[in-house]
Amino acid sequence: MTIKRLWAFALFPFLLIPAAAQNCDQLRKDFKPDAESVRRAEREWSKAFLTGDTDYLECLLEPDYESVWYTGQVRSRQEIIDKARAHRANPIPVPSFPMPTIQIHGNTAISRSDIDIPDPAKKEPRKVRFLDIFSYYDRRWHVLYTQDVELKSQ
């Protein structure tokens, strides 16, 4: 391998940083510390996950982000990003979700909503309540944690 090729190979990861940084800068311009911005972040998060926009997810999800699924399975930020990456080749159409309920407390937001999750094992979807915790700093929302629970009929 020639010296030029070695340099190009060594510098390639650094060439990706400006694109991700630019994407995060866009988030800073668009978000305010209000409930409507949290709702928009939720919509964009769903779209990014289902279409494989990992740059957006890397900006939105904190490094220590965890998602606890209704089954009890804990997924890390990297696992969520990897699952989203798998959707790049076959993006999933973004369904219309109900408007989440947002509570703002200082620089923290709690987003809650009930959604139907398709379940291949059952003939009907599962009703799941999700709760996302956001923190507003650096002029944008960051997601800290997600908890999902299955809502069962009484």
The predicted model scores a pTM of 0.80
Q: Domains of the chain, with CATH numbers?
A: 3-150 (3.10.450.50)
Tell which phi-psi region holds residue 85, choosing left (phi > 0), alpha (psi between -120 and 50) or beta: alpha
Report the distance separating Cα 154 and Cα 152, nearest Å: 6
Query: What pLDDT was estimated at residue 18?
Result: 40
Query: What pLDDT was estimated at residue 26?
Result: 67
Report the distance separating Cα 52 and Cα 54, nearest Å: 6
E strands along 3-100, which residues? 61-68, 74-76
pLDDT 10s digits, 21-68 = 446 776 656 688 999 999 999 999 999 999 999 999 999 999 999 999
Mean pLDDT over the full length of the chain: 84
Q: How far apart are the first and last CA of the chain?
A: 67
